[in-house]
Amino acid sequence: MPQYIQFIFLLTSIFTSTSSSPSSSPKNLTLIGSAHIANNSIILTQEITACNSRSYSLNGRILHSYPIRFFNSSSNATVSFSTRFTFKITPPPPPCIPGDGIAFLIASDPNSLPHSSGYMGLPDSPISDPFFAIELDTSFNPGLGDINDNHLGLDVNSIVSVASIDLTSQGVYLKSGKRITVWIEYRDPEKIIRVWIGYMDSKPEHSVLSLPIDISKILREFMYVGFSASNGRGSSIHSIEKIQFHTFESLTPNLQMETRSSRSCLICYPEDPVVEDYEITLYHDNHKDNRVLELAFGLLFLTGFLIIISSLIIVYCICLNKRRTLRQRFRDHPQMYRFQETEIPKKIKLADIRSATKGFDQNRIIGQGASSIVYEAYLPSCGNVAVKRFCKVNQSISLGNQFATELATMVGCLRHKNLVQLHGWCSEGNELVLVYEYMSNGSLDKILHKRSNNRPLTFEKRLNILLGISSALVYLHEECERQIIHRDVKTCNIMLDADFNAKLGDFGLAEEADGDDSVGYAREVVGDGG
């Protein structure tokens, strides 16, 4: 019962937990082109359904709605900055080709950026308004100086990169469909930019790009920060999941530029006079109105779940009580259960049976019927046994049914001193075998018809045989919980042990009685003469 309680608590926590739903338009972001919000992410590009389409898809771009100060005219100082963002590029299935890629962008005038698709949405020709970009390129264009279709590049006022890094050698694959995190730091006092990239949430120890560069020459007093992506003639889904951006006015050498918050947001007020944080908020905080609806659905699911669990517990208690009642009945009336507690016979490997019968040697045959042959054998786990081998299943479908019927009957509740006991069974390929206890005096018909070397049966032995078979039939018809009709009682199916105690065997034609109709059906002629 403790397992049920733990399960209830687990499901309760699942159903009552509320999930945040994305808003349609973040208040501090501007969505341009095909950019939109979905699945708690910013989706920059749409996937093209027709791979052979000759038309270009729209590019997608997001920009912070308000410009960010990069140059202080009063102090004549350029700020340092750091950013961290997590993105994912989901490539299309073959034979479609991937898109162009995604780029982190700092631009002076968003209106100067092209609206046509291609080149990650960056300008493909010189413009008067400066821009800076870190591109994550998934399209190989030798004319632009690309080194391959999986590289990181630094662009200054041109889509021809100032520096490029092969990400394949770094163990990063942009088109893997996995979440990838990028860290970018620019220190103006040192005039150096560094870039880290990896699949983990923690920043790698070594940067993939470390380049001396003075970008203060292209930075205006106010510039826009964001991302741009395009597919060109390809088809990929470019998505942004987390973004953080920070500026530093008075950067000292010992000041760490790590982002100090893991929230998925953009603008916060500065915590000190030298640091200003711009954090992109991916989602609204005005989803409180939806919590009532979410709570209602959660309670509905919880109520239904508790009803199901309660029903299962009630059924379990009923079954447990019934089992206890049967056990108590056995203690109160032991004379009605003159058999051992049912044990399921074990499955025996065919190789062990072949070894015990010397490969089903004909010299070991001790009995033969219309559907099976019986061999004498020895198994280390059982001692001397009688191996009943059914004819090939593919020769007669009914033989497989006889095997299944006999096995099911013996496994049920047939543990009686006057019933031949089943030790094991085997069903491998076309071989169907039942392993019974060995009856040293064979069948009754051999003795009655003097086909054995035994002396004629005395009156006492004959009476003992009749009483034993009668006891077995009374047990089958009246005392067994599942009333069984043997339907094939004859001398060749009555086996004798070393002391001439009779045991009834061969239940291949047996049926379970179920009222007067089943008993009447069981009186039909079945089996063979004997």
User: What are residue 270's phi and psi, to 5 degrees?
Assistant: -65, 145
Per-residue pLDDT, 440? 86
pLDDT of residue 331: 57
Q: What is the pLDDT of residue 327?
A: 64
Residue 506 has pLDDT above 70, yes or no: yes
Residue numbers belonging to the annotated binding site for ATP: 388
**pLDDT at residue 196 above 60?**
yes
In this predicted structure, the answer to whether residue 265 has a pLDDT above a threshold of 60 is no
Q: Considering only CA atoms, which of 131, 185, 138, 135 is closest in space to residue 158?
A: 131
Q: Residue 174: is its pLDDT beyond 60? A: yes
How high does pLDDT run on average in the chain? 78
What are the pLDDT digits (tens) for 60-110? 899 988 899 898 888 888 889 999 999 999 988 888 888 899 999 999 888
Q: What is the percentage of the chain residues whose pLDDT exceeds 90?
A: 27
The tens digit of pLDDT for each residue in 113-166 reads 877 667 888 887 777 789 999 999 999 988 888 999 999 999 999 889 999 999
Q: Please state whether 360 falls in left (phi above 0), alpha (psi between -120 and 50) or beta.
A: left
For tokens 């069903």, name the residue.
427
**457 neighbors 468 (Cβ within 8 angstroms):** no
pLDDT band at 396, cuts 50/70/90? Answer: very low
Among candidate residues 445, 488, 506, 514, the one labeled active-site is: 488
Hey, what are 37's tokens?
Answer: 């919000």
Contact by Cβ (8 Å): 132, 106: yes
Instruction: Specify the pLDDT at position 26.
Output: 58
Contact (Cβ atoms closer than 8 angstroms) between residue 419 and residue 474: no
Residue 318, φ and ψ in degrees, nearest 5: -65, -45
What value, to the nearest 5°, has the Cα angle with vertex 162 and ends 156 and 163?
130
Give me the phi and psi of 325, to 5 degrees please.
Answer: -65, -40
Q: Which residue has the higher pLDDT, 86 or 278?
A: 86
Range picked from 61-75, 275-289, 322-336, 401-415 for highest mean pLDDT:
61-75
Which CATH number is associated with domain 29-286? 2.60.120.200
- Identify the H or E element spanning 153: strand 151-156
Exposed (0-12), middle (13-18) or buried (19+): which is 160, by Cβ within 10 Å? Answer: middle
Collapsing DSSP states into helix, strand and coil, what is residue 48? coil
Q: Is 488 assigned a catalytic role?
A: yes
Give tens-digit pLDDT for 284-323.
Answer: 444 444 666 778 888 888 888 899 998 899 988 888 887 7
**Measured distance CA(146)–CA(153) in Å, rounded:** 9
Q: Which residue has the higher pLDDT, 485 or 22?
A: 485
Indicate the pLDDT class of residue 478, thresholds 50, 70 and 90. confident
CA–CA gap between residue 504 and residue 491 (Å, rounded): 9
The one-character DSSP state at 111 is: G
**Higher pLDDT pick, 229 / 452:** 229
Q: At what angle do helices 2-16 and 288-332 cross, to 10 degrees?
A: 170
> Above 50 in pLDDT, residue 362?
yes
Q: What CATH number matches the domain at 346-522, 1.10.510.10, 3.40.50.970, 1.10.10.10, 3.40.109.10?
A: 1.10.510.10
What single letter denotes the amino acid at residue 318? Answer: I
CA distance 259 to 264: 12
Q: Residue 9's pLDDT band (boundaries 50, 70, 90)? A: very low
Phi, psi of 240 (to 5 degrees): -115, 130
Produce one character per residue of 321-330: b if its CB has 16 or more CB atoms within 10 Å, e if not: eeeeeeeeee
User: What are the sequence ranges of the domains in the chain?
Assistant: 1-21+287-332, 29-286, 346-522
Q: In 3D, which of 207, 130, 200 has the Cα closest to residue 163?
A: 207
- Determine the Cα angle at 247 with ends 107 and 131, to 5°: 15
Q: What share of the chain is helix, strand, coil (3-state, %, to 5)?
A: 30, 30, 45
Sequence-distant (≥ 6) Cβ neighbours of residue 120 within 8 angstroms: 59, 100, 101, 102, 103, 133, 135, 137, 159, 228, 229, 230
Confidence of residue 260 (pLDDT cuts 50, 70, 90): very low
- In the predicted model, is pLDDT for residue 30 greater than 60? yes
Residues 6+ apart with CB under 8 A from 381: none
Question: By three-state DSSP, how is residue 489 classified?
Answer: coil
Distance separating alpha carbons of residues 264 and 241, to the nearest angstrom:
8
Of 20 and 344, which is predicted with more confidence? 344
Q: How many residues does the chain have?
A: 530
Is residue 20 over pLDDT 70?
Answer: no
- With 60 as the cut, is the pLDDT of residue 10 above it? no
Query: H or E segment at 447?
Result: helix 444-448
Least confident piece of the model among 225-234, 255-264, 301-310: 255-264
Confidence of residue 210 (pLDDT cuts 50, 70, 90): very high
Residue 209 and residue 500: Cα distance in Å, rounded? 95
Q: Comparing 29-286 with 346-522, is the CATH topology the same?
A: no
CA distance 389 to 149: 68
| Residue indicated by tokens 């004498």 | 376
Q: What are phi and psi of 232, to 5 degrees?
A: 60, -125
Q: For 415-467, how does the pLDDT look when each residue is reduced to its tens digit (9 = 90+)?
A: 788 888 888 989 888 889 999 999 888 888 888 876 666 677 888 888 998 99
The partner residues of 266 in beta bridges, in order of sequence, read 279, 280
In terms of Cβ atoms closer than 10 Å to its own Cβ (0-12, 13-18, 19+), residue 499 is exposed
pLDDT at 254 (0 to 100): 54
* Residues 98, 92: Cα–Cα separation, whole Å: 6
